[in-house]
């Protein structure tokens, strides 16, 4: 079965690869659907204020009211709590729960009753309807009017409708917009009906327990990944440390295990480079050059290096081609390419020496600098500009 933005659900024969049935009913694009594990029901969701529930034909002989080739038949509609469109519909492992995630911060959880419970609920519904009808009939007789009685067959053999099977159970409200949601395939903890895992748009992972009273957060994974776009990555000389920068943090990773070793608050990092295995350089969107101590996970110095965003940081290689301690080059949107040298200074009597940098030369460009590269022996420098030109020159004299 497949759903589409054309508002239809299609049933396919896998052997003949032909469409057996096209089912309508939705008034807008269908974004998600799911079939319960026992293959009794299919639930689909769109931007409509209701979920569509379809019965699935179990056998060829089932029911006289089925058409010969029909596989799906509309069972009914269940109202949703949110006005936002449906993003995801999922049943749990035993089919007793179904969750409807919307394109927002909420998810509706519905209880799916079995045949015995649904029949019992249908009888209670018809019984209440009969009591209300009797009360109205008595009032009508007193007023001298006549009300048609309910059909006898409906009172004796109540038909199970969709609201007898699907019942709103809980509403989950997350702190941020939900990107995806799923039931845990493992057995839930004692006293819980199910566990739900969801990812949020701030890159957090949360797990909730669902019980009869409420939906409770069990735990969350908050600090591993970045909360927004990663703008640069760098490896150190030994390939055992990886640095990534984003809008408010620098993260140091073990590339072999994927473990996050350090998270350091920073500006909006657009470029980065390692200085040996102890320090890291980060060029920010505001033009600040940040020097960080990897071992302590702290910012040691912030230098106002450029008037525009620093788009590129490139270490200057030694004459033998290895990245040594000569310095580095930065390229910025302020049209400047700057050469820097490292220095170790002692800021106070008690502190050990710390890394700082000094600007020794500045090259003026005609456009924003987007990228800088230096040849392996350090003799030539290439600068990519916003006007689609690349300037290549001797790094010592800048004659191109």
The CATH number given to whatever domain includes residue 22 is: 2.130.10.10
Mark whether 200 and 76 lie in a shared domain. Answer: yes
Measured CA to CA, the distance from residue 4 to residue 147 in angstroms comes to 46
- The pLDDT value recorded for residue 280 is 95
The closest alpha carbon to 201, from 184, 179, 173, belongs to: 179
Is 129 part of any domain?
Answer: no
- The pLDDT value recorded for residue 366 is 92
Measured CA to CA, the distance from residue 389 to residue 194 in angstroms comes to 59
Residues of the chain with confidence (pLDDT) below 50: 153
Mark whether 57 and 205 lie in a shared domain. Answer: yes
Residue where one domain finishes, among candidates 195, 221, 247? 221
Indicate the SS3 state at residue 123: helix
- The pLDDT value recorded for residue 289 is 96
Q: Determine the structural domain holding residue 69 and report its residue range.
A: 2-113+160-221
Report CA-CA distances (Å) from 244 to 52, 202, 224, 371: 45, 17, 12, 18
96 neighbors 110 (Cβ within 8 angstroms): no
The closest alpha carbon to 25, from 76, 84, 64, belongs to: 76
Mark whether 104 and 24 lie in a shared domain. Answer: yes
Which positions ≥6 away from 209 have C-beta within 8 Å?
Answer: 188, 189, 192, 194, 195, 196, 215, 216, 218
Is 183 part of any domain?
Answer: yes
Measured CA to CA, the distance from residue 398 to residue 394 in angstroms comes to 5
Mark whether 244 and 338 lie in a shared domain. Answer: yes
Mark whether 250 and 291 lie in a shared domain. Answer: yes
- The pLDDT value recorded for residue 287 is 96
- Label the pairing between strands 194-200 and 205-210: antiparallel
- The pLDDT value recorded for residue 63 is 56
Query: Considering its fold, how many domains does the chain have in total?
Result: 2
In degrees and rounded to multiples of 5, residue 117 shows phi and psi of: -65, -40
Indicate the SS3 state at residue 155: helix
Is 120 part of any domain?
Answer: no
Exposed/middle/buried for residue 51 (C-beta within 10 Å: 0-12, 13-18, 19+)? buried
391 neighbors 382 (Cβ within 8 angstroms): yes
Mark whether 181 and 52 lie in a shared domain. Answer: yes
Mark whether 50 and 76 lie in a shared domain. Answer: yes
Beta bridge partners of 283: 271, 289
Mark whether 74 and 35 lie in a shared domain. Answer: yes
In degrees and rounded to multiples of 5, residue 119 shows phi and psi of: -65, -40
Is 321 part of any domain?
Answer: yes
Mark whether 80 and 15 lie in a shared domain. Answer: yes
25 neighbors 43 (Cβ within 8 angstroms): no
Exposed/middle/buried for residue 318 (C-beta within 10 Å: 0-12, 13-18, 19+)? middle
Mark whether 207 and 291 lie in a shared domain. Answer: no
Mark whether 283 and 347 lie in a shared domain. Answer: yes
Mark whether 165 and 283 lie in a shared domain. Answer: no
104 neighbors 76 (Cβ within 8 angstroms): no
For the chain, how long is the longest CA-to-CA vector?
A: 110
Beta bridge partners of 250: 245, 264
């Amino acid at each position: 079965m497949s759903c589409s933005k054309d508002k239809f659900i299609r049933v396919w024969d896998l052997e003949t690869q032909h469409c057996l049935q096209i089912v309508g009913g939705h008034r807008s694009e269908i974004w998600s659907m799911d079939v319960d594990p026992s293959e009794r029901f299919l639930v689909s969701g769109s931007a409509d204020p209701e979920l569509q529930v379809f019965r699935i034909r179990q056998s060829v002989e089932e029911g006289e009211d089925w058409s010969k080739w029909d596989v799906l038949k509309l069972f009914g509609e269940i109202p949703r709590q949110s006005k936002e469109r449906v993003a995801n519909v999922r049943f749990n492992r035993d089919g007793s729960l179904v969750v409807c995630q919307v394109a927002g911060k909420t998810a509706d959880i519905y209880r799916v009753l079995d045949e015995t419970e649904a029949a019992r609920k249908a009888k209670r519904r018809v019984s209440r309807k009969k009591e209300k009808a009797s009360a109205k009939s008595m009032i009508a007789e007193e007023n001298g009017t006549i009300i048609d009685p309910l059909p006898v067959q409906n009172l004796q053999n109540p038909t199970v409708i969709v609201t007898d099977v699907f019942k709103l159970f809980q509403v989950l409200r997350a702190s941020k917009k939900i990107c995806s949601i799923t039931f845990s395939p493992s057995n839930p903890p004692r006293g819980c009906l199910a566990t739900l895992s969801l990812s949020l748009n701030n890159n957090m992972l949360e797990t909730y327990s669902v019980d009869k009273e409420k939906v409770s957060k069990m735990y969350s994974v908050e600090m591993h990944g970045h909360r927004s776009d990663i703008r640069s990555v760098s490896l150190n000389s030994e390939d055992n440390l990886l640095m990534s920068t984003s809008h408010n943090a620098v993260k140091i990773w073990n590339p072999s295990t994927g473990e996050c070793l350090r998270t350091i608050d920073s500006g909006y990092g657009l470029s980065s480079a390692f200085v040996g295995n102890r320090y890291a350089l980060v060029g920010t969107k505001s033009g600040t050059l940040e020097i960080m101590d990897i071992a302590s996970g702290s910012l040691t110095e912030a230098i106002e290096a450029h008037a525009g965003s620093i788009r590129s940081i490139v270490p200057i290689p030694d004459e033998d081609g290895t990245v040594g301690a000569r310095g580095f080059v930065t390229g910025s949107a302020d049209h400047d390419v700057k050469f820097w040298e490292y220095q170790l200074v002692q800021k106070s009597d008690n502190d050990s020496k710390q890394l700082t940098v000094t600007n020794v030369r500045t090259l003026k460009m005609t456009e924003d600098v987007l990228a800088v590269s230096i040849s392996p022996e350090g003799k030539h420098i290439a600068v990519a500009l916003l006007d689609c030109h690349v300037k290549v020159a001797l790094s010592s004299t800048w004659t191109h």
